[in-house]
Chains A and B, each alone.
Chain A
Amino acid sequence: MVGDTERTATQSGAGAGTATAGVTFQPQASEDDAPASPPAVEIRNVSLWYGSQQALGNVSLDIPRNRVTALIGPSGCGKSTLLRCMNRMNDLIDGVRIEGEVFIDGEDIYGAEVDPSDVRRVVGMVFQRPNPFPKSIYDNVAFGARINGYKGDMDGLVEESLRRAALWDEVKDDLKKSGLALSGGQQQRLCIARAIAVNPEIVLMDEPCSALDPIATQRIEDLMQDLASDYTIVVVTHNMQQAARVSHRTAFMLAGDDLVGRLIEFEDTDRIFLNPGDERTEQYITGRFG
């Protein structure tokens, strides 16, 4: 949380625009002087069905580059489903049907000639429960690089990835140890190191702290802030304080009685929490439901 207040202070007041479900939001020019870069992910009219049950209804939003974007909303609102649309993880589930487009670097990742494996190298993922491979710490980090044909210095890459994930100092003396022998928080940082070892542009995090204690959670949150300088981060969280602490922009999603998840509001995080445009957002963040 240290350093967080600073960012929040500089960011407050930024962001304008109205919030309506189903409307595409352009990213705000950020307050640092960098020219507005194109969004990292452009989601266009994405709808998704599990079998006959629709789970996402016509979601469109632009994920800003090198920022932390949070997806919040009550259980079953489709936020994890939307996250998994960004690296085609939903392809692995039988009976899923997706409509709409998801552009990364101008290319629709659902295009006919796109290999999902290639998408997932560019869009890394960290899961709800830490899931290191039952292999050594070294092999956990090196696996992705190996299978993607990394030709450089593997030891260097492993060290750099572990340093970047703030885990190096704790494990450098015993890289041969099983990844499963680490604590929960260390395992999750190992999973982050594993994700960034293949040099992705975007890192998706699906409730990465929900299985961790508060101290481990804070380390992961600090890490998210650090990583945002090099990667675009999208984090799904149940924890509204977490969204407020770590994210630059926040998307609020909600499923109606038809169980179809829709985007209600996508705004700068401060605005979502201080001055939401939709009364359902306000009700949710003030804890009146969900």
Chain B
Amino acid sequence: MAAGHPTVTRDSYVPRLSFRQTVGTGFLALCMAGTMVGIVFLAVLLTDVWRDGVGFLRWEFLEAFPSRFPERAGFQSALWGSLWLIATTAMLAFPIGVGAAIYLEEYAPRNFVTRAIQINISNLAGVPSIVFGLLGLQIFVRGTIGIGPSVGGGFGRSIIAGGATMALLILPIVIVAAQEAIKAVPPSLREASYGVGATRWQTVWHHVLPQAFPGILTGTILALSRAIGETAPLIMIGALTFVAFRPEDLLDPFTVMPIQIYNWVSRPQADFHDLAATGIIVLLFVLLSMNALAVFLRQWTGRRYGR
């Protein structure tokens, strides 16, 4: 043949094209089925929750505090507790996580110690949240190491203790996400900066961080979305189930949405179950808003001068 293979002829190939196409179609069907299972179950769940919860979905639900009477019970303390907690968590986890990521990616030498740290961070991301709750109870609530103003040197069952615990919980996720974002900054950009005499600090501050920022932000917000749905560590550190006031201060006791929902579900009266569904709607709304914010910030910060 033209290519000059003495032993290869047209008959050496058996394309079986229609068989390959059939296999391809089957594979496509399998993948689509996988997607549909997820979507269908989510849709069923959402419609079920909506049907149960829509009855109580009014302003009063957001303004009222918990009550023995379902028609008077509300979500205010839980909603505000969650918002306070998330804000506190973000303010602690973001700077610490990004700082750790910058150190590991831009400064740390590649040796045994940093590799060990790296592996440990990845492992921490898989530690059950209740373990972090135990840690938070010991360190932040009871103050075994004496860092807080309350009795015994801890912060007590306060927002700051909860936020610090949550920050520890999501820190591995924030660090890994920020590391990935920093890693994705092309080396050519760093070279360009070093090439005009920039120091490491100037290179990181002026070029690496702005370029990595959308990715860091998205990772952090997704980690916070995980934190807002967490219950176990907060029960552990003693977040309350009945809070009849809105927290005003980092040292105030608090409750959060998932705990309030759990509390309502575990009551015998059917009305409280519907109330729980209403709470779930609010929780999902806050979650979706956070994810939308992540998408928006990514677009907005990535747009300027980006490709």
Residues of A within 8 A of B (CB): 87, 89, 92, 94, 116-118, 120-121, 124-125, 127, 129, 131-136, 143-144, 147-148, 178-180, 191, 194-195, 197-198
Contact = CB atoms under 8 A, between A and B. Distances in A.
A131 B189 contact: yes
Contacts of A133: 189, 192-193, 207
Interface in B272-307: 305-307
A147 B197 contact: yes
Contact of B196 (A116, A178, A194): A194
Given A129-B188, A134-B307, A195 B195 contact: yes
B196 A120 contact: yes
Give the interface residue-count category, chain B. 20 to 34
A198 B211 contact: no
Given A94-B109, A147-B202, A198 B192 contact: no
Given A144-B196, A144-B198, A135 B305 contact: yes
A183 to B, nearest CB: 14
B191 interface: yes
Given A120-B194, A124-B195, A134-B306, A147 B189 contact: no
A120 B197 contact: yes
Contacts of A87: 195
A194 B305 CA distance: 17
Interface string B197-217: 111001000110011000000
Given A94-B109, A134-B305, A121 B188 contact: no
A127 B193 contact: no
Contact of B206 (A147, A195, A197): A147
- Shortest 7 CB-CB distances between A and B: which pairs? A144-B196, A121-B197, A131-B188, A125-B195, A178-B305, A120-B197, A131-B192
A122 to B, nearest CB: 8
Contacts of A148: 196-197
B190 interface: yes
A133 B206 CA distance: 10
A181 B92 CA distance: 38
12 contacts: A116-B194, A117-B199, A121-B197, A124-B196, A127-B195, A131-B186, A131-B191, A134-B305, A136-B305, A144-B196, A148-B197, A180-B307
Contacts of B194: 89, 92, 116-117, 120
Contacts of B191: 89, 92, 125, 127, 131
A118 B195 CA distance: 10
Given A136-B305, A147-B197, 11 more contacts: A89-B191, A118-B197, A120-B196, A124-B195, A129-B188, A131-B188, A134-B306, A144-B198, A147-B196, A178-B306, A195-B196
